[in-house]
A and B are shown apart, each in its own frame.
Chain A
Amino acid sequence: MRKVLTLKLFLIAIISGQVLLSCETKERASLPERVDFNYHIKPILVQKCYLCHGPDPSSREAGLRLDLAAGATRLLESGVTAIVPGSLSKSAVFHRITNSDPELKMPPPASNLELTDLEISLIKKWINQGAEFQPHWAFLPPKISNANLKSSIPEQIDAFLDEKMTEQRLSQAEPAEKYQLIRRLSYVLTGLPPGQKEIDAYLEADQPGAYELLVDNYLNDPAFGEKWASHWLDVVRYAETKGHEFDYEIQGAWRFRDYMIRALNADIPYDQLVREQLSGDLMVAPRLHPETGQNESILGTLFLTMTEGTHSPVDTKKDEADRIDNMADVIGKSFQGLTIGCAKCHDHKFDPIPTADYYALYGVLGSTRFSPIPAGNFKKKEEALQEVLQLKEQLKEMVGGAWEKPTTDSVPVLLVNQSQPVKATKDGNSGIVLGDFRGPDFQGWKTDGGAFGVGTTLGEPDFDIKTGELTGLKTGMASSRILGKGIYGALRSPDFKIDHAYLGVRARGKGGSIRVIMDNFQLISYPIYGGLDQKVNESDWENYIFDVSDWMGHEVYLEFLPGSYVRHTYRQDPDAYIEVAYATAFDRDWFYPEERSRYSPVNSLSQAVYRWEEGHPTAADVDYLNQQLTSGKLVRRFPESRKTRLGMDLLLAPIKDTVFIQGVSEGFARESPIFIRGNHMETEEQAVPRAFLPEILDAQDPFRDAGSGRREMVETILHPDNPLTARVMVNRLWYHVYGKGLVETVDNFGLQGKLPSHPELLDYLAITFREEGWSLKSMIKAMVMTDAFRRSTTSVNGEKDPENKYISHYPIRRIEAEAIRDAMLVASGALDSTLFGAPVPVHLTDFMQGRGRPGQSGPLDGNGRRSIYLEVRRNFLDRMMTTFDRPTPFNTFGKRDVTNVPAQSLFLMNDPFVAEQAGLMAARILAGKGQSTEERIREAYLRAFSRPPSASEIKAGKKFLASVPIHKETTGDSDPEAIALQAWKEYCHALFNMKSFIYLL
């Protein structure tokens, strides 16, 4: 007895000794050999000092900034120096943080912030060691210090992970069972449970490459793109409507979803995807869909246009500022993991993003214009248009060849006066010319889309279709049917400030429209702005007048489109067109601009023909040539022209633009001044040159592009020296594979973001990603080929590392909203695995009300399509997706919440969709005739959990099935099949409600 007691005491002593020992080692471990600024000191300063001593001067106290060495070590006005490297006693910081006097103590007690003893020790040691400042870790280029790299990426990943585990004295969990692993792998890569056959094959396979084969199969499954596209959709705040009051459609938004699925399946390199999403409209050689020939690159630009859209804002300038703010914020978070939006009103409180840098980006986005973009067969259209242009040239050559040859010695130099002065008449009416298209060119206006060709119609030969006779040369106008009707195109003016009460456009057309775009505002409609969009539906020339007197001083541009917007969706009939002679601004009466070039001298027929053939005749030349033609002095019979004309019509017929997306096009470089405290009504005088985060991404010149500057922005993001782009993306991939990012704050790599748990690994992956040609599939493959990915979920480390920061086991994860629904469809056999297409209308319940509600509800089961194809209406989000944490799409949400709320349980318990799928699954299981109950339970388990049931689970299942009471209203009294179905439906429903169904256990 006594002995036992002694032994016990001894044991206690040992145990407590160990406890003491481990505490001590812990203490020692936590004060590192060498204190690192980024990892040890800055987190303290950010949390507890920078609000008053950080980069933002507006809230800085005592003139002290602790984010830069120069600021921390300079002599302050108070006569002390905050930090004297190497000397604690001379460093005022040391005295202030250790002071007990509340008047002197830092941080001040009123701030509710306090330094822990450990933090104080760290700061002390750091000062003693020389107080070395370093730039923020994420702003330094990634580097690999270890020279002995393993031969494969997965091995190297494991090596980095193992190193940390050894350091932390953590054991590794056992390898996962095959059932556990295949289910995990299948969900992670495809968002779907593994198929029965795959499970069987994998279980039987015992050759070493079996797992890799499985990985490759999943990576090549089209479902891979569907799963991984959904991750990116969270990042880009993907939605198919604009929200706000009437929830208008974002035209063609779903094509972005399909674009992303195709791109991921084809493993389009990430740098290409960045380029396309930010500047897909500017690609010299756009990427084409291999089968349909559609322009893939341009679909990426929907990234920029998925902002919300305000119906009738009274202040369009503010509205524009809000839109741009959203774009800037989403760009910053998506590609750089930076919270640029924080610098809108003041310099960023923590990151080196001065307000000026925010407005440098504002300029880029402000000179980007919204535009309908045709989404049809790009390749075919481009080729056909090239041919049509050639045929036109041929026609011209044919005519020119038949006419008199010019003598070169007498070609006059033509002086063209471009700018037209303000004309004022004595009664006070005044006006200016904004664009006069009766001459040969567009006077600096921009065309987009091809319909308006390369110049005006001035001098275009007009043939009688039947006889082929040349009836004359056309006068000048901007025409969207210069090549033929049905082609999309826009003609847009430079930006100008409204300084006259009216804008006037002389135009004609069918189904066309003239729009005054003010502050980039697109949702033009009554009551306020309706007058800024006028339909052009007269084949005779008319004067279209816009009363803009309410908006003096606003920045606007004019836009001519062959089609028009119906409920904010662009439509263009095959025979729609618009033609414009000129556009003016005036104060009272219609302003008629003189046609100057009409009266310029014509010296000789040969000169007129020469200029006409060269493609720059004056209006006078054309008049003159037409006179000559009428008086019979020029050949006018060209019967061959008929064939050429016919050829052109044949080429044009199949390429009419009918399908559009809401994309972007280039405007004119527009620099923005800083808005003081973010207020658009109060701006600084000087405009900020355009750039992309020049403070962080230094060594870039201001953007000089005459357009938006998006091209230069993309180059800055993809520049080899950019420290963020690759890191941010590999970290996103890691988060989706392992359930937690190496940097947990996946959208924030700034000073307030979390530090990487494995910095060397992150850098290694970032460098490898770039070196491997930005291949997303290769990176994902490497991440799932590791031992770490293949470990069991059972921790072997007790209470050590409770958050599993060091990934000694694979985490238990709840599957995403989409996967839960898709898994039910798979289990019930109702899944329709069709890829792509227009979204399935959202299923509406009584609890989903409000303006803009669709007239009809979508199907309860979403037609059995995968969840990614369900409509995303901002004001009517799918109830199941929302309940299971799919984010509300307004800003970047790279990391989803995983909440646990009763609405989730209620959904699984009571929603008719779940009951319906349980019924279908039951029917499916019963369809196999002659099976025993045990076999059926086995099938049910494989369908729901991708594993066979245990003996006790079978027993419990049988007992459950036998206990289901007969529900007479449903089954009737005696129909045994109906009774069985009822019981099995309850059983399948129970399986859907088990945690094994929605968790990767």
Chain B
Amino acid sequence: MHHHKPLLNQRLSRREMLNITRCGFGSLAFMGMLGSSCKSRDKQSVDFLSQLATTPHYLPKAKNVIFLYMDGGVSQVDSFDPKPRLAKENGMDPTFKIDATQFNDNGKILQSPWEFKRYGESGMAVSELFPHIASCVDDLALIRSMVSNFPEHTNANYFLHTGSGLQGRPSMGAWINYGLGTENSNLPGYVVLDGGLVPPGGVDNFKNGFLPADYQASIMKTGEKPVANIQPDSSMAAFQQDKLAFIQKMDEKGQAKSDEVEAAIKNYELAYRMQSSVPELSEFASETRATQQLYGLFDEDPNTRSYGAQCLMARRLVERGVRFVELTCPYQKGIDRWDQHHGLKDGHERNAHAVDQPIAGLLKDLKSRGLLEETLVVWSGEFGRTPFAQGKDGRDHNPSAFSMWMAGAGIKGGTIYGRTDEYGYRVEENPVSIHDLHATILHLLGVDHKQLTYHFGGRDFRLTDVHGRVIKDVLV
């Protein structure tokens, strides 16, 4: 029932893999764990097509994806979608029809507390919330006409991550790895950098669903032990290599053999390599002070430092060939993510401060290293917020319109796509669904979303279900 081999990926058979990569633990210790793949990548001229583990459907533009997930839902009318009419009607009752909202405590029209200014050659308007990101607008394709199907966090999160509002489906990172395979066998292909906030719906947002377990996200933290069980207990660390050699020797002597057992033996070598390659990810000593500064690692705000570290680690991950990296937001006490049902001003300001400089730093750093050409950066929440107040000074969920942007590989910088009504409440032109977003991301990776299927429970499933349309207007 399950096709375990990636559909697009003519991977090596187990035996072939064994023959190629077997070298035993003794020699492993002397191997440069990460050297080869990243050195060659530093040369911008390298045609990464030749490195892809697969034959894509189209010529891919992007090789990796960094998904900056804005948990809770950023207010579009306070960030990327200016609506002067809100200021004019501030404090008045909305005259338009309002849908049922999560809290149904709908108040008056609420103007944005922030000024908008135009930036860059494109003249894209950005609010004061994001002064640093504003300096990168010419690299962004802004979509102002996003819609979601769900006004509650959990369904909307599952929908954004898996293309279905129900729990238990594979996440897009899992789909992408299933489709394209991994590039760095020492690292997982799908990494979630946990900044402290796991979104409502829990780690199931990052799971493999009915895909085999290999495709689930590895949750990493920025710190000494980024991954669960990545280091042995200190009392057992020194002897580990000898012990593994002993285990391997005994296993090889073992009575019966099968491909499966051989593969399990080999798995230890990979795990051992991961032990060294994973902790190295968060050793920032090799980064220049200027780079660290760029990401906000010296900021006064610990949340900015924390998100900055995630962003820097994200760069290091894609540099090493990790296919899909998602960043969750830092946990800030008292302000519940971007979910400002009240206290919009304080909450959005603090959340924005945590992510603004790091994100701009990431974009600039990727660009200067030539990595932005092959990396797609996606910035989005699960929905937007209402242009009218919840209570006095908050905004409720709004799935009928929100803004998101993409930057990097294959993206036409400085583009604005779609339009909302005068209040930023509903989409008026070129609505973009979550399925469309997924189709576009897959397209940039060279994958036709209609052909990326997995047979489960009697039918072929797709990330985009039976929907999805590539948004060509934002592509180069």
Contact = CB atoms under 8 A, between A and B. Distances in A.
Given A905-B268, A969-B235, A850 B198 contact: yes
B167 A909 contact: no
A890 interface: yes
B214 interface: yes
Interface stretch (A646-654, A833-841, A957-965): A957-965
Contact of B152 (A313, A847, A965, A969): A313
A899 B103 contact: no
B270 A915 contact: no
A158 interface: no
Contacts of A521: none
A892 B194 CA distance: 30
A965 B238 contact: yes
A846 interface: yes
A956 B249 contact: yes
B19 interface: no
A342 B461 CA distance: 11
Interface string A733-748: 0000000000011011
A152 interface: no
Contacts of B238: 965, 967
Contacts of A875: 201-204
Given A339-B458, A902-B267, A995 B251 contact: yes
A882 B3 CA distance: 20
A851 B458 contact: no
A970 B235 contact: yes
A874 B204 contact: yes
B258 A812 contact: yes
B214 A915 contact: no
B25 to A, nearest CB: 12
Interface string B250-278: 11011110101101110110111011000
Nearest to A959: B246
Contact of B104 (A244, A528, A960): A528
Given A748-B457, A879-B228, A909 B271 contact: yes
Contacts of A1001: 254-256, 261
Contacts of A990: 243, 246-247, 250
A970 B237 CA distance: 12
Contact of B167 (A243, A349, A905): A243
Contacts of B100: 314, 528, 550
A909 B240 CA distance: 9
Given A895-B1, A995-B261, A910 B233 contact: yes
Contacts of A905: 264, 267-268, 270-272
Contacts, number: 235
B24 interface: no
B1 A744 contact: yes
A910 B230 contact: yes
Contacts of A982: 235
Tier of interface size on chain A: 35 or more
A897 B212 contact: yes
Interface in A923-965: 952-953, 956, 960, 963-965
Nearest to A911: B229
Q: Which of B2, B228, B244, B272 gathers most chain A CB within 10 Å?
A: B228
B168 A891 contact: yes
B152 A314 contact: yes
A681 interface: no
Given A527-B104, A996-B254, A910 B229 contact: yes
Nearest to A333: B457
B218 interface: yes
A952 B200 contact: no
B290 interface: no
Given A243-B204, A341-B457, A910-B231, A900 B267 contact: yes
Interface in A635-685: none
B234 interface: yes
B256 A794 contact: yes
Interface in A867-918: 874-876, 879, 882-883, 885, 888, 890-892, 895, 897-907, 909-912, 915
B102 A903 contact: no
B281 interface: no
Contacts of A899: 212-214
Contact of A245 (B2, B154, B212, B233): B154
A964 B459 CA distance: 54
A342 B235 CA distance: 54
Nearest to B218: A903
A872 to B, nearest CB: 14
Main secondary structure on A side of the interface with B: loop
B330 interface: no
Nearest to B328: A849
Contact of A999 (B239, B261, B267): B261
A322 interface: yes
A915 B166 contact: no
Contacts of B202: 243, 247, 850-852, 874-876
Contacts of A847: 194, 219, 221, 227-228
A848 B227 CA distance: 11
A743 to B, nearest CB: 10
Contact of B213 (A313, A846, A885, A970): A885
A986 interface: yes
A874 B253 CA distance: 41
- Interface centre among B196, B214, B243, B457, by most chain A C-beta atoms within 10 angstroms, is B457
B229 A245 contact: no
A342 B457 CA distance: 8
Contacts of B166: 308, 322, 890
Contacts of B265: 995
Nearest to B240: A909
Contacts of A969: 234-235
A955 to B, nearest CB: 11
Contacts of B221: 846-847
A812 B459 contact: no
Contact of B194 (A338, A341, A849, A953): A849
Nearest to A751: B458
Contacts of B243: 960, 986, 989-990, 993
A845 interface: yes
A431 interface: no
A329 interface: yes
Contacts of A995: 251, 254, 261, 264-265
B107 interface: no
A539 B358 CA distance: 61
A311 interface: yes
Interface in A815-853: 845-852
A568 to B, nearest CB: 15
A994 interface: yes
A314 B256 contact: no
A814 interface: yes
A410 B254 CA distance: 97
A128 interface: no
A768 interface: no
Interface in A712-770: 744-745, 747-748, 750, 752-754
A471 B356 CA distance: 77
A906 B260 contact: no
Given A874-B167, A885-B213, A888-B209, 14 more contacts: A341-B457, A342-B459, A812-B256, A847-B219, A899-B212, A902-B188, A904-B264, A905-B267, A909-B244, A909-B272, A953-B250, A956-B250, A964-B239, A1001-B261
17 contacts: A314-B100, A314-B152, A339-B458, A744-B1, A846-B221, A847-B194, A847-B221, A847-B227, A850-B199, A851-B198, A897-B2, A898-B260, A900-B264, A903-B213, A965-B239, A970-B235, A1001-B261
**Closest CB pairs A-B (n = 7):** A339-B458, A890-B168, A905-B271, A850-B198, A875-B202, A850-B202, A245-B154
Interface of B: 1-2, 4, 100, 102-105, 150-155, 166-168, 188, 194, 196-204, 207, 209-210, 212-214, 218-219, 221, 227-236, 238-240, 242-244, 246-247, 249-251, 253-256, 258, 260-261, 263-265, 267-268, 270-272, 274-275, 455, 457-459
